[in-house]
Structure 1
Amino acid sequence: MNEKPPAVRGNASRVDAFLAEMTAVRQLKPAPSLGRLIFALDATASREPTWRWASRLQAQMFEVAAEAGGLAIQLCYYRGFDGFETLPWHTTAQALRTEMERIGCVSGYTQVDRVLRHALAEHRRERVNALVFIGDAWEEDEEPLFALAGQLGLQGVRVFMFQEGDDPGVETVFRGIARLSGGAYARFDAGSPDRLARLLRAVAVYAAGGIRSMQALAGRGDAAIPELTRQLRQP
């Protein structure tokens, strides 16, 4: 009598078990991680025009970062006298823009320290590749800001400080925060949305793919990149 069928059934069962095991392993394997960028803005009353710029320019950040591995952005902002808010992480430009268009700027005090503390806390939950801050003023004691920047630097979170205007006191503090974190400083003015766009694209590419990706972007003619990468090489 032929005993082959039971053996075949046994082999099929083992194959089925093997395939089920491999499926489970694939499901457990983490998906490729996106770069994570915290996008922080001063949303006090004087910032309304720049806020509107930023809500449009963030789409370019997603677009250029896609070539370097992709990007997730979390918006955080302060306004009023004690208002500090964070939005969920977004991986599409339209979703983030919709959120930003609902937000208005309100007179109040600067809260740069809360931005830096938030970045530290978020990084402890899951790695943050970079923090970019856009503002034109600071009103806190500078020493705690520098201490927080140093902690971010030790954690590997570079801070990019982009100053609107040319106040020398603001520049000193913003440069100090950037330097102590291992990041970079740049400034723009109300008449240069194109420059802000180039700066934001550079940071997005850094968050998605690191310094080499930034340098590749420079090779495509982006003049803002060398200004930032020269600073990133410094301790």
Structure 2
Amino acid sequence: MGEGEKNPVARSGRAEVEAFAEKILQTPMRQTPAKIMGRSAPGRGRLVFALDATMSRQPTWDLAQKVQGEMFAAAAACGGLDIQLVYFRGFHECRASAFMRDGGGLGAAMARIEVRGGQTQIGRVLRHIRSERGAGPLGAFVYVGDAMEEKADDLGRIAGELGLLGVKGFFFHEGGDARAAACFKDLARLTGGAYAAFDSGAPGRLAALLRAAATYAAGGHQALRDRAEAGDREARLLLGQMK
């Protein structure tokens, strides 16, 4: 889409979720906040759901697509949640959707995306999240990936800024890349968030982690603490790391 073309996320007349999702995913992510279709209702939290969509991610992308609806379900008891999908892939391609209020919209958006080869663009994702925080309240983001091919110090600087802004990052790491694990742990620490590893062959773990993160984004520390005290192991894991 050319730079002069009107941003489709600003069009509010779309009634069908699938048509809407197809349009919003044509807009490249910019360094300044894009216009959002609607605003979060009072009492609703906002969460950025960011994923690595490079070629190695196909199994985990499919898994995330299957379990993403559980974020909305977990957040419903805490006032609800609006979620924005952000992903990168290919050659310098990094995109963001509008904020969506149900798993149907997010699932439809994810179904239209194919993984492609490319290097990680975590820095662009973090800068975008910083811009979204400037546009309105944003308590947390989730990042799901398996690798890190950027300068850790550069990422750490932006993560530290997000921490000062009160935006906590939940980094969910698939695979055994030691460099990525060390970086993701540090980025989570700098934001005041949490890190957890998972295996794409065990879908229940990622689903539980997403539920816990969504609970925090919708209801804050108390909601996550209530979930932990009710016996949720992943909620306890995240809560134990958070500042």
**Bin for the TM-score computed over the shorter chain:** 0.7 to 0.9
Q: Offset at 1:215? A: 1.4
The amino acid that maps onto 1:131 is: F
1:137 paired with 2:147, answer yes
1:173 paired with 2:186, answer no
Distance 1:175 1:31, change over 3 A: closer
User: Which of 112, 120, 129 is matched with 1:110 structurally?
Assistant: 120
Unmatched runs of 5 consecutive residues or more in structure 2: 1-39
The percent of aligned pairs where both chains have the same amino acid is: 47
Unmatched runs of 5 consecutive residues or more in structure 1: 1-29
Alignment of 1:57-72 (within 5 A): 57-72=67-82
Equivalent position of 2:242 in the other structure: 232
Distance 1:183 1:220 in 2: 21
Give the 3-state SS of the residue equivalent to 1:202 in structure 2. helix
Give the 3-state SS of the residue equivalent to 1:68 in structure 2. coil
Higher helix share: 1
What is the TM-score of this pair, normalised by structure 2?
0.82
- Deviations 1:73-121, CA, capped at 9 Å, x for gaps: 0000000021000011100110110111011000001000011000000
Aligned 8 A contact 2:63 2:200 in 1: no
Higher deviation after alignment, 95-104 or 214-223: 214-223
Alignment of 1:45-194 (within 5 A): 45-194=55-204
Equivalent position of 1:32 in the other structure: 42
RMSD after superposition: 1.1
Distance 1:107 1:168 in 2: 21
Give the 3-state SS of the residue equivalent to 1:140 in structure 2. coil
Larger Rg: 1
Distance 1:212 1:122 in 2: 24
1:205 paired with 2:221, answer no
Distance 1:133 1:125 in 2: 20
Give the paired residue count: 204
